[in-house]
Every structure is written in structure tokens, then in C-alpha cells.
Structure 1
Amino acid sequence: MSEPGEGALYVVATPIGNLDDLSVRAGEVLGRADLIAAEDTRHSARLLAHLGIRASLLSLHEHNEAARVERLREAVAAGQQVALISDAGTPLISDPGFRVVRELRDAGLPVVPVPGPCALVTALSAAGLPTDRFLFEGFLPARSGARRNRLEAVSELPVTLVFYEAPHRIRALLEDVGVVFGEREVVVARELTKTFETFLSGSAGQLVERMAADSNQTRGEFVVMIAPAAERARETVASLAAEQLLTTLLEEGVGSKQAAAITSRLMGGRKSDWYQRALTLQGR
């Protein structure tokens, strides 16, 4: 927390839909800010007008962030109160701001978080999927091939998977999810905290059918969540990987005992069991 009269960068979370979700503290910070760095100044101007706040706005988005760093650093160093906001939710979460925060921290200047709405946390809280461990991947690649490769890379992780997606790609994403994950449970959250907030759950194929039958379900911004891999599936993958390692070591000329020791150390299991398996593979 910065001292009174001291310059600071405040990273302020703003509503993702319902404007009443703006915290009292966030409103106070925005109200006293000398400068507000906003992802889209036109969008943020509407929020500030709703709050009755007049402040200097500076655009800060993915295409100009590097060029804005010095100006914001100078403003904070000069004692100004600067607020960083995105179009909706918590800045830096799939939104610009990383370079600014990193540079100001490296310069020894105060960076103060003002917590509040975040789409991924909001979605997880009401999805009915495990939340003790989750992996947030943000937006996946736009092309199907690259998107499927990324989905396959995380498909057997023992965590709930979370993605963001835009309306014009939501059906294509779900089609790829169906190819990679089959019948695994998927929950799609749409228009969070807004009038038409919706949670849909089922297999990816079922969700594609529901969207095809009701085009309204493809409107808005989306959080897509996929259930963790089943324990048996993870064990099977781990076992196959260990056997592949053992086989590769033997094919490369590593002795049975050494191959068994390496496999046991890297993949788990008893060395004696892997030694017996190595002898079987060699006999085959």
C-alpha cells in the first residue's frame, strides 16, 4: 500500500457485466486518480461517466503498451496516482498490463492491486467442477490444428481446464474439444453477471447441438471449462509413458539393470519390477 501523497500504480478490477459489482475501494481509487490507463478509452469513459468520475484517460492496449511504459513510470515517480484498468475484469488476466507492472516494480515504484471481478474465477465458482486445482489457458490459437494440439497437450492433466473464447469461434472450439475430449464434461459460462447469464453443461457435442438449435447461445463472451482427466486415464498414460521410456533405453543399448534403474527413478515403481519387464521385452 502506498503512503498518502506518494505516487503509485493501482491495478483496478472493474465489472465484467453488472456495474454494481465495482467495489467501494475501486470507485474511490478511480475517483482520485490523476490518470487512468485504459484498454479502450471509449469503453472505459462510459463506466466512468456512470460513476460520475472525470479523469484523464490514456489508452493502453497490446499494440502500444511498450510505448506507454515510460510515460506511466514518469507519472508515478512524479507522485501521481495512476489507475490501470481493462475493458472488464482484472487487468493482466488475458489483458494488457504485464510490461507496465513489471517495469514499475523493477524501478522500485509502488504497484497496488485493487481486487474485484474476474471472469475465470466467477465462472469456476458456479460451474460445479473441481476447483482445488485448475489450469487457465486464456485464449487458444485461432486455427483448428494448433488449437487441437494445445488441447491434446493438456488433455490428461488432473485439473479443471479453463479457457476464454469469443462468440465467432465458440462452436469451432467446442467441436475441437469434442474430438480431443470425447464425452468428458464441459461447462460453458456466457454473459457472466449480465441479464442473459447462462451456464450450459454436457459433452462438447451436446453443447454444439444446443448452440445450433439456439443461436442466442453463441452470443457474448465465453468461459469454457473442462473436467479433469479421470484417474484411470492418467494412470494408463503414465504407465504407457514409463514403458516407452524403458523400451527406448533398451533399444539404445542400455543394459537391463541400468534401464530399470533409470525408469524407476524417473517414472516411479520398483526397480525390480522394471528389471523383470526389461527382461521380458528383451526376450520378446
Structure 2
Amino acid sequence: MNPVAATNKGLGHKLKRAWKDNIAAYLFLLPWLIGIFLLTLGPMISSLYLSFTKYDMLKPSVWVGIDNYKTMFTNDVHYMNSLKVTFTFVFTSVPLKLGFALAIAMLLNMGLKGLGIYRTLYYIPTLLGGSVAIAVLWRKMFSGDGVINQILLSLFGYQGPDWVANPKYALFSVSLLAAWQFGSSMIIFLAGLKQIPHEYYEASKVDGAGKVRQFFQITIPLLTPVLLFNIIIQIIGAFQSFTQAFIISGGTGGPIDSTLFYTLYLYMKGFTYFEMGYASAMAWVLLIIISIFTALIFLSSKYWVTYGDGGN
């Protein structure tokens, strides 16, 4: 037999055998592959095309080029306000949430009895926080005659405003709701704290370091990889927040657009005004914004993230 033919025949036999050996793996991957192409990549490509069209879902789409993107940044006051509101929310709620999460995680890391019970109790708001029922409850609590104002009146004699109906405080109340859902970040921080060797703290005590110095020179540096992960996850989630603003504002972004989140305005454009092409363009701009923030955080991490070996 020709050596080349023999080699090709042997290679074909090996490939055929490899395919048979891996067929089970391909079958298990098939549902995921179908989902990624039909439910993720397909809609993304369709959305990218629609972002360059005028499309109301009732008539065929009309190609308009970059007109949707031009309108967003030059002739849509509500869009620019939604950006302002969303950025304010992100830079307010994320630090608050991470601060609460780290504080509670450090308390739980002090060797409390019944740690599992406390951990579960603090995690419950995260499980319930994204639900419509909790958003409705939060709106009732922060209304003019809600529980919050009743507490302020009984303890301090102060009659608080209608927090969710006042444009000065509406976004603040939504930010508090987001910060209240700190359970997932807390669990991650707690896992990171438990990985820090206790010997470091004992050695620092010998050197005369107090709790504050230990926190800034041991805890925070060794916790920076976990902090990096939490920051990225929380920023991505904050940019996509929708349910809280939708319920608390009654789906309008009010009062006076003070809770007009980017995703809420995108929803209104697409499903209230049926400007699906415009909404698709907004979705792609949001993707770009999130990607830029994520990339900047990753690029900056080499200057402030410390890994276990002490290097960056």
C-alpha cells in the first residue's frame, strides 16, 4: 500500500474513533449550543441590525444608518438624563452595597455562634430583593405615611418627606434598596476573609499593630482579588437594574425622571413607544459602556490587587 494512503487511512481511523469516544460529550453540549446560537447570538445579531433601522414591530424595518445613535446623543433629553441617573445610581449603590457587605462579613468572621443562621438571614434580602413584591413593599415603606416616616416621627419627632415621590430623594430610596441586597457580596467577602491566615494578625499584634492598621495593611490588601470580583459583578448588575425603578416609579421613571434608569428608558422605548430600533441601539450602547468599565477595572487591577504571593 502507498505509504501516504496508509497514513491518511490511519489518521481517518483515529479521527473516527475520537468522534465516537466524544459523542456523549457532544450530545450533552448540544442543548447549550442550541441555546447559545438561538437564544443569545441570534438575538444579539438581530438586535445589532435593528439598531440601524426604524422598526416598530408592526411594519417592516427601514434602514436609517446611524440616525438612532445620533438622536440619542444630540436630540434626546430623556436619554441623557437616563445616563445621568444610571451613573449616579451605580456610583452610589455599589459602594454602599460593598461597604455593608464587607462590614457584615467581618462581623460574621469573628467566630460568632450560629454562623450559618446569621449568614442565611443576611442572604435572604438578596434572594427576595429583585422580586416585584419586595419593590412594592419598599415603595410602601418609604411613602409619606410609610413605616420609615412613622419611625422618624416617633423617635425624633421629624416628619419625613414622601421619599419615593420627591425627586430629591427618590433615587436615594432606590439606591438603599439595592444596597440592602448585599447578601451575595457578603458571602464572597466572608469566604475571602476565611482564606487569610490568622498568623498574619498574630504577628502584627506582636509588632504593636491595632485593629485599624491590621484592616488596612493585612485585610484589605489580601482581600483585593475578592474585592475586584465583587466590584465587577456589582457594577455590571447595577447598570442593568430595572425592577426596583420600574415598580417604585410606577413604570414612568418619575418623579421628574429622577428614577429614569437606562434600562427602564430602554424598556419604555421598545415596549411602550414601539421604537424597537432605537431601543436596540440603546442596548448596544449599554453593552459598550459596561465593557469599557469592566476593561478599565481590569487594567487598573495590576496597580491595586495583591495576590497571595505578595506580588501584583
TM-score range (shorter-chain normalised) is under 0.3
Return the structure number with greater strand share.
1
TM-score normalised by structure 2 residue count: 0.22
Question: Larger radius of gyration, structure 1 or 2?
Answer: 2
TM-score normalised by structure 1 residue count: 0.23
Q: Higher relative CO (CA 8 A, sep ≥ 6), structure 1 or 2?
A: 2
